[in-house]
Structure 1
Amino acid sequence: IIPDNKFQLIHRHLRPFDHTQIDETAPLPRVFQGIEEWSDHIQAVSMQLFRPGPHLAVDECIIRYTGNSDSITTIKGKPDPVGFKIWVIAQMGFYVKWLWHIKEDEYGDNDDALNSTQAVVVGLTKTLPKSTYHVFVDNLFSSTPLFRNLRKQGYEATGTARTNSGIHKELVRDKNDDGKAKRMYEFNAVKVNQMAWKDNKLVLFSFTVFTGADDERVIRQKKPSSKKSEAKPIRRFFWVTKLSK
């Protein structure tokens, strides 16, 4: 972070974009027009160096900015709540592709009655190389229509769900009456599985991936007490052989 006066002095002599090409009537805000060329270049080179694997995550991010701009977004609860919001699809902390958050942007076709936020997931997956992906999202995006859309494209999807995401009414009832959840539910969500998982609170999930191994259990041995011999480091013996001259 540098003082504004120093930044303005540098900005007079160094400009990363051609300000004469800014189109005030374009749907893309001018603040994003200035970095769009760099953004496209970075994403193109990244795809040459990094080919994403099957497991990807979609989320929202904030680029901190406290200046004056109509494109600024405030998200309470974030470490940096004020700035430019971007939608990213990432893997192991590497941003594979991203889209600028533009108010009232549809982010591509909207054939399954998706809202603008859910359509972001579809828009990001369409920028990836053709392959089979398993997309993980949080409850900001999850909905039954979205998961059907991804399934239709050949993509797997998993994510936590809100009570208004189109999830089954029995799950919603148990979510509202936390602590008295049933173990099994009898319903068919039409190619989108739904479940409830009891953590500290009841957590709702939607997913399109099912291995059939739902009854498998991983038995983990309890970690021994630090005072027991099993928990102590193994003794290692070292010796030095005297070398003859």
Structure 2
Amino acid sequence: IKRFMHISDCTVQPPFWYSKVDPLATHIQTISKSICMPSSNISVDEIIVRFSGRSTHTVRIKNKPTPEGYKILSLCDAGYTYSFIFTSRIQNQPEVQQVPDLSKVGNEVYHLVSQLP
């Protein structure tokens, strides 16, 4: 039982809201970048991960197949995801550089595209 038990200090705030899944997400992106070599025809895709609980980071977009959940922007090519970034409606990502004259989504797309080889 001790092997599966995890106790976290609730008085210490994590540096970003997705910090519990960040090790897995970083590993997936590292493997994806080593396997996939994107061509010149790439796309930025919006992924909504269904979540209907209480969270200030979820988005709600009506008339979508998944209207409510966590929003992830991904850089894709030929059915493969090269890189992705978690987004929040209330908090900016710490690693995303804020470029003047670009919107929040524009900065996130710029961050994804700047990771291309």
Using CA pairs under 8 Å that are at least 6 residues apart, name the structure with larger relative contact order, 1 or 2: 2
Residue 69 of structure 2 corresponds to which residue in structure 1? Answer: 83
TM-score normalised according to structure 2 size: 0.81
Report the alpha carbon displacement of residue 71 of structure 1 after superposing the two structures with TM. 1.3
8 Å Cα contact 2:36-2:80 kept in structure 1:
no
Query: Percent identity of the aligned residues?
Result: 23
Q: Which residue in 1 is equivalent to 2:55?
A: 69
Deviations 1:179-236 (A, max 9, x none): xxxxxxxxxxxxxxxxxxxxxxxxxxxxxxxxxxxxxxxxxxxxxxxxxxxxxxxxxx
Q: What SS class does the counterpart of residue 112 from structure 2 fall into?
A: helix
Corresponding position: 1:57 with 2:46: no
* Count of residues paired in the alignment: 112
| Structure 1 gaps, min length 5 | 1-11, 130-245
* 1:115 counterpart (78, 81, 103): 103
Query: Does the 8 Å contact 1:19/1:34 carry over to 2?
Result: no
The Cα RMSD (Å) is 2.4
Displacement of 1:62 in angstroms is 0.1
Within 5 Å, which residues of 2 pair with 1:6-21?
Answer: 14=4, 20=8
Q: Distance in 2 between matches of 1:127 and 1:60?
A: 17
- The corresponding residue for 2:92 is 105
Q: Residue 80 of structure 1: CA displacement? A: 0.9
Structure-1 separation of matches of 2:9 and 2:36 = 31
Which letter does structure 1 place at the counterpart of 2:38? P
Which residue number in structure 1 is paired with residue 112 of structure 2?
A: 124
Structure 1 residues 81-230: aligned runs within 5 Å: 81-102=67-88, 103-105=90-92, 107-111=96-100, 113-129=101-117
Q: Secondary structure at the match of 2:19?
A: helix
- The structure with the largest alpha-carbon Rg is 1
| TM-score when normalising by structure 1 | 0.41
TM-superposition CA deviations, 1:92-125 (whole Å, max 9, x none): 22111111112342731313x1111111211101
Aligned equivalents of 2:79, 2:63: Cα separation in 1: 21
User: For residues 7 and 48 of structure 2, what CA distance do their matches in structure 1 show?
Assistant: 25
Aligned to 1:24: 13
Structure 1 residues 19, 87: CA separation in 2 closer, same or farther (over 3 Å shift)? farther
Is residue 35 of structure 1 aligned with residue 24 of structure 2?
no
Cα distance, 1:63–1:13 mapped onto 2, change above 3 Å: farther
The gaps in structure 2 that reach 5 residues or longer are none
Determine the C-alpha separation between the residues in 1 that align with 2:73 and 2:44.
Answer: 7
